[in-house]
């Protein structure tokens, strides 16, 4: 049985400083009994978990925040942004060094996500008390806190928390997830740890991978915006300007945490004004040399053997599989670290564009023909081993693959404009040569390049040469084509079985309802930065996200967001005219996928990069089996 560490921590500044030094040196690893959950000790089976003591400090830049109240919470479990559980009977108060200590608390469970909120106080001994100061951080799950852990709460941890937990955070510092998406909020906590060192409160995190480019300058700039407000008082011009610039939907924030959350969720608003406001403080460096294209937060990852990366697909644990044209499969952890430094080669991989993940977290990769072989589908286990290489069913330059709710694989054959359906065990369901799309005298398939499947297991093929999307019955008994716009290159199905297409040549997206009405018209929706959209995905609130192969600014691909089919004005551009993330360095954006934390993962075909946009989309259940599902 794990010992319950409840000893009292000396609260004097000198003792706290000494204790923090021991933590930083790695000397203090357990309580009096020597118990350390991080070392592999078992977790008690009870519903509750006795938390271990830790120490902390609240800072404004490097200045202690004196007299701030600190509360520790367990994230809510009844919905995104649901009410959390306070774990301290009374909030703590920071001393003249900004320090506090937590000696006893009980979590709802060992895996509950903890977070700390500091409110009010004064920055140093001469600044006035600022009621608008609300700062936040999270050490992760309750059982990851070790005895004597040191935690810093400052502007940088607050900005990073707002990004990482964007989809789970509500105004008033309410953090929570649905009971069915504990994995999503855990991924978000991991993202925060990737961005910020919890001990120092600085960027990047201790485990940030060497193959990534940390977004430290942008985090620093926004942290400086908060700092300029905090070192004054709630009525200062810096606070007033911050709250004005962060006003969203006519709701004006009144504290720093709500303000930064609004900025994260409206990344294209008041970009220049916020950047100018960041110049009012130099508490955090480095900062961008100029205002960004928007305030989306992105990370570029390389390595993992990527070589012309195309499609991306996400498994149940949040890992990202990438199919590469140059005969490589890449797999990345959710923090962007490559699972296989050089990727996976052999195993029948050849000229691969399409990838999907099944319910057993196996990757299905479509291999076109070439000098390396091809005309096959490679199936890899979650450990990267070969499970199978299938060639039956008329595979002919297979270019795209989707897995339906029965875990059958739908594979588009570009070579002869056909469709192959395989069972999860590789048995063809579409005959020896696949479905040819012929209905009477009508040839429906016209060089299809993508496929998606609805809840009734109807398939939808994007015909890049036919300006149509073709609906295919599961047994191939019927084919119906709909004109959606020029050159559809990708398709996605939302939670209500509406079908979105990325129209590459039309610089638009199409929207087809489950009943067969083309809401977007024959030319599709435009705007929002759409410029040769190559990939499309739907998030948990049914908004559509497209990754563009080109960009209206001619500086690389960008993300476009459009309102969902059930909104008052479907297809309305929610992204700016140039799209989001034009300074993310994406060149020839190709694949796009959304994880259970709301992170968007895109591939940059020409630069051999995987790009993560943090916390911008509503979470979806992964892997994607048929239409999008809410986790």
SS3 sequence of 501-528: EEECCCCEEEEECCCCCECCCCCCECCC
Please, which residues have CB within 8 angstroms of residue 130's CB and are 6 or more apart in sequence? 120, 121, 122, 123, 229, 230, 232, 233, 234, 239
Phi, psi of 191 (to 5 degrees): -65, -40
Strand partners, 122: 66, 129
Ordered alpha helix ranges (H), 40-164: 155-164
Instruction: Give the count of alpha carbons within 13 A of 366, CB side only.
Output: 33
Tokens standing for residue 470: 């073709």
CA end-to-end span of the chain, whole Å?
Answer: 34
Q: What was the pLDDT predicted at 439?
A: 93
Ordered alpha helix ranges (H), 132-175: 155-164
* Digit-coded pLDDT (tens) for 534-545: 999 999 999 999
Whole-Å CA distances, 110 to 42, 48, 50, 74, 106: 11, 7, 8, 10, 9
**Contact in structure between 85 and 178 (CB atoms under 8 Å):** no
Q: What is the DSSP string of 358-392?
A: -TTS-EEEEE--BTTB-SEEEEE-TTS-EEEEE--
- Please choose, from the candidates 440, 541, 446, 561, the residue with its C-alpha nearest in 3D space to the C-alpha of residue 496: 541
CATH 2.120.10.30 residue spans of the chain: 298-613
Tokens standing for residue 236: 């200062």
Place of tokens 């995190």: 205
Q: What was the pLDDT predicted at 7?
A: 30
Place of tokens 């078992």: 42
Tokens standing for residue 200: 């120092």
Give the C-alpha separation, 619 to 82, whole Å. Answer: 15
Give the C-alpha separation, 275 to 282, whole Å. Answer: 12
* 3-state SS assignment for residue 87: coil
Give the C-alpha separation, 396 to 416, whole Å. Answer: 6
| CATH code for the structural domain at 13-195 | 2.60.40.2190
Give the C-alpha separation, 507 to 529, whole Å. Answer: 9
Give the C-alpha separation, 111 to 55, whole Å. Answer: 20
Give the other-Cβ count within 10 Å of 302's Cβ: 18
- Please choose, from the candidates 166, 135, 133, the residue with its C-alpha nearest in 3D space to the C-alpha of residue 153: 135
Domain 298-613 has CATH 1.10.3720.10: no
* pLDDT beneath 70, residues of the chain: 1-47, 552-556
Give the C-alpha separation, 66 to 70, whole Å. Answer: 11
CATH 2.60.40.2190 residue spans of the chain: 13-195
- Please choose, from the candidates 95, 93, 209, 115, the residue with its C-alpha nearest in 3D space to the C-alpha of residue 160: 115
- Burial (CB < 10 A; 0-12, 13-18, 19+), residue 290, is exposed
């Amino acid at each position: 049985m794990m010992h319950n560490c409840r000893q009292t921590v000396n609260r004097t500044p000198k003792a706290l400083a000494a204790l923090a030094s021991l933590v930083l040196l790695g000397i203090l690893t357990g309580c009096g009994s020597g118990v350390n959950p991080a070392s592999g000790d078992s977790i008690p089976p009870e519903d509750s978990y006795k938390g271990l003591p830790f120490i902390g400090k609240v800072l404004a830049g490097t200045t202690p925040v004196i007299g701030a109240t600190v509360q520790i919470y367990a994230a809510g479990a009844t919905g995104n942004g649901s009410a959390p559980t306070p774990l301290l009977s009374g909030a703590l108060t920071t001393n003249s060094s900004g320090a506090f200590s937590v000696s006893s608390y009980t979590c709802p469970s060992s895996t509950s996500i903890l977070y700390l909120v500091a409110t009010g106080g004064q920055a140093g001994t001469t600044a006035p008390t600022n009621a608008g100061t609300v700062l936040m951080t999270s050490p992760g799950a309750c059982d990851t806190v070790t005895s004597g852990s040191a935690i810093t709460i400052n502007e940088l941890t607050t900005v990073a928390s707002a990004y990482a937990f964007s989809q789970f955070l509500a105004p008033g510092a309410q953090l929570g997830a649905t009971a069915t998406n504990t994995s999503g909020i855990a991924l978000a906590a991991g993202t925060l740890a990737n961005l910020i060192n919890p001990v120092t409160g600085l960027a990047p995190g201790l485990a940030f991978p060497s193959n990534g480019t940390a977004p430290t300058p942008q985090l620093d700039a926004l942290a400086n915006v908060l700092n300029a407000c905090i070192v004054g008082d709630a009525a200062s011009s810096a606070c007033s300007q911050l709250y004005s610039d962060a006003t969203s939907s006519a709701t004006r924030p009144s504290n720093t945490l709500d303000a930064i959350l609004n900025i994260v969720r409206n990344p294209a608003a008041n970009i220049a004004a916020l950047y100018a406001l960041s110049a009012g403080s130099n508490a955090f460096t480095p900062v961008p040399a100029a205002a960004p294209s928007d305030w989306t937060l992105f990370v570029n990852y390389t390595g993992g053997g990527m070589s012309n990366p195309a499609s991306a697909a996400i498994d149940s644990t949040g890992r990202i599989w990438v199919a590469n044209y140059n005969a490589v499969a890449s797999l990345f952890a959710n923090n962007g670290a490559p699972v296989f430094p050089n990727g996976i080669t052999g195993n029948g991989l050849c000229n691969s564009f399409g990838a999907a993940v099944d319910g057993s977290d196996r990757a299905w990769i479509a291999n076109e023909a070439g000098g390396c072989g091809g005309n096959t589908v490679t199936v890899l286990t979650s450990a990267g081993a070969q499970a199978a290489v299938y060639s039956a069913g008329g595979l002919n330059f297979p270019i795209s693959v989707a897995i339906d709710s029965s875990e059958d694989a739908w594979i588009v054959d570009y070579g002869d404009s056909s469709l192959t359906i395989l069972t999860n065990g590789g048995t063809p369901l579409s005959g020896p040569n696949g479905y040819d799309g012929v209905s009477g005298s009508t040839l429906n398939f016209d060089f299809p390049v993508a496929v998606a499947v609805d809840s009734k297991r109807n398939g939808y093929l994007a015909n890049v040469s036919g300006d149509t999307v073709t609906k295919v019955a599961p047994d191939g008994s019927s084919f119906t084509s709909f004109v959606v716009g020029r050159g559809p290159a990708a398709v996605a199905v939302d939670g209500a079985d509406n079908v979105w297409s990325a129209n590459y040549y039309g610089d638009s997206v199409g929207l087809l309802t489950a009943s067969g009405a083309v809401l977007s018209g024959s030319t599709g929706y435009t705007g929002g930065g759409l410029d040769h959209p190559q990939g499309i995905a739907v998030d948990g609130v049914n908004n559509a996200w497209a990754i563009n192969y080109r960009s209206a600014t001619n500086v690389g691909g960008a993300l476009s967001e459009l309102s969902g089919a059930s909104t008052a004005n479907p297809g309305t551009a929610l992204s700016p005219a140039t799209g989001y993330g034009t300074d993310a360095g994406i060149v020839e954006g190709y694949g796009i996928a959304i994880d259970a934390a709301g992170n968007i993962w895109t591939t940059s075909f020409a630069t051999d990069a995987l790009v993560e946009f943090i916390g911008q989309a509503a979470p979806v259940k992964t892997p994607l089996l048929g239409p999008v599902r809410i986790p």
